[in-house]
């Protein structure tokens, strides 16, 4: 029997992508002898589609929950305990946000997202604090107010300290101590912008992978002024005594403003805490 199907005509006359392995075979393979589901690009498409699908599902779920939260706000606003109930709903919003974000990030990166885990835990602790304040005695409420103020300002202190530590670690790599050249592969190329005197600069934040004395290291470099592309090789310098520390000759040092910013984030909350607990009576 002559096969006059469109696929057969395409294979015979146009050099189609898929060809029949046998005349009576319903499955077709390509010029490399691979069936459609065996092709590497098909597997890659499947792997890429799964995170995108999870993102869509989680996004729709959280959007629906936000809509429900708005309805609950309206309902609880008429209650005698409106503030208490609304505070719980807000906390629950953050819990759901943290959980959905952790699921989405876990599917994409196959690991637990610590920042979103932190958001979830803080939201749960906040809801517990709201419940304890609502049902507690005068002394309990006074203690929770003080604790809440301390934790609020501690968040700024920790953030400022993190900025200072990050800048210190990123500045360890310099031309004086990094004297050994290696060929490194850029495995991730992040970007950042900085605005000074109305001028905006764009920097690359590449993460390099390289081998030194038989061991593989990874190091992130800040403020690289040239474009870096993933899976491309670049010549960088490392510290032979501490191979984890790397220096990119195209990087630019810009630590001053970050350190000032971080110092203010640490100093101002401390001053505010001293003033609050010195002059206010709870």
* Mean pLDDT value across residues 147-160: 88
Strand pairing class (28-30; 246-247): unpaired
Indicate the range of 37-51, 185-199, 230-244 predicted with least confidence.
Answer: 37-51
| pLDDT the model gives residue 48 | 47
- Is 31 or 161 the better-scoring residue by pLDDT? 161
Q: Kind of pairing, strands 233-238 and 28-30?
A: unpaired
Give this prediction's pTM.
Answer: 0.53
pLDDT computed for residue 197 by the predictor: 67
- Of residues 215 and 176, the one with the higher pLDDT is 215
Distance from CA of residue 48 to its chain's centroid?
A: 18
Burial label for 219, CB within 10 Å (0-12, 13-18, 19+), is buried
The whole-number average pLDDT for the span 92-107 is 90
- Note the pLDDT tens digit of each residue in 124-143: 999 999 999 989 898 898 89
Higher pLDDT, 248 or 31: 248
pLDDT given for residue 193 in this prediction: 76
154-200 confidence digits (pLDDT tens):
988 888 888 777 766 666 556 677 889 999 999 988 887 766 666 77
Specify whether the CB–CB gap between 72 and 88 falls below 8 A: no
Residue 30 pLDDT grade (very low, low, confident, very high; cuts 50, 70, 90): low
* pLDDT attached to residue 81: 86
Angle (CA) 113 118 120, round 5°: 95
Give 51-79 pLDDT, tens digit per residue: 677 778 888 998 999 999 999 999 988 88
What's the pLDDT at 49? 52
pLDDT average, residue stretch 24-48: 49
Lowest-confidence region among 21-35, 186-200, 218-232: 21-35
* CB of 133 closer than 8 Å to CB of 141: yes
């Amino acid at each position: 029997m002559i096969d006059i199907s469109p696929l057969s005509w395409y294979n015979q006359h146009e050099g189609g992508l898929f060809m029949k392995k046998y005349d009576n075979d319903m499955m077709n393979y390509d010029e490399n002898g691979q069936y459609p589901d065996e092709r590497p690009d098909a597997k890659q498409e499947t792997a890429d589609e799964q995170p995108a699908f999870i993102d869509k599902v989680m996004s729709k779920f959280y959007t629906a929950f936000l809509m429900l939260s708005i309805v609950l706000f309206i309902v609880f606003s008429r209650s005698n305990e409106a503030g208490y109930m609304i505070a719980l709903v807000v906390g629950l919003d953050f819990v759901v946000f943290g959980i959905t974000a952790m699921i989405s990030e876990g599917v994409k990166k196959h690991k637990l997202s610590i920042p979103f885990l932190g958001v979830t835990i803080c939201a749960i602790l906040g809801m517990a604090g709201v419940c304890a304040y609502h049902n507690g005695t005068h002394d309990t409420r006074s203690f929770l107010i003080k604790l809440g103020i301390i934790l609020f300002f501690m968040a700024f202190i920790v953030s400022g300290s993190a900025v200072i530590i990050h800048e210190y670690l990123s500045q360890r790599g310099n031309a004086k101590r990094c004297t050994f050249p290696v060929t490194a592969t850029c495995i991730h190329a992040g970007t950042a912008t900085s605005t000074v005197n109305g001028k905006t600069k764009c920097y690359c934040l590449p993460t390099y992978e390289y081998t030194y004395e038989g061991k593989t290291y990874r190091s992130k470099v800040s403020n690289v002024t040239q474009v870096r592309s993933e899976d491309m090789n670049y010549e960088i310098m490392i510290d032979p005594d501490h191979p984890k520390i790397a220096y990119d000759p195209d990087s630019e040092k810009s630590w001053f403003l970050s350190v000032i910013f971080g110092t203010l984030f640490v100093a101002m909350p401390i001053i505010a805490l001293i003033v609050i607990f010195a002059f206010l009576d709870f």
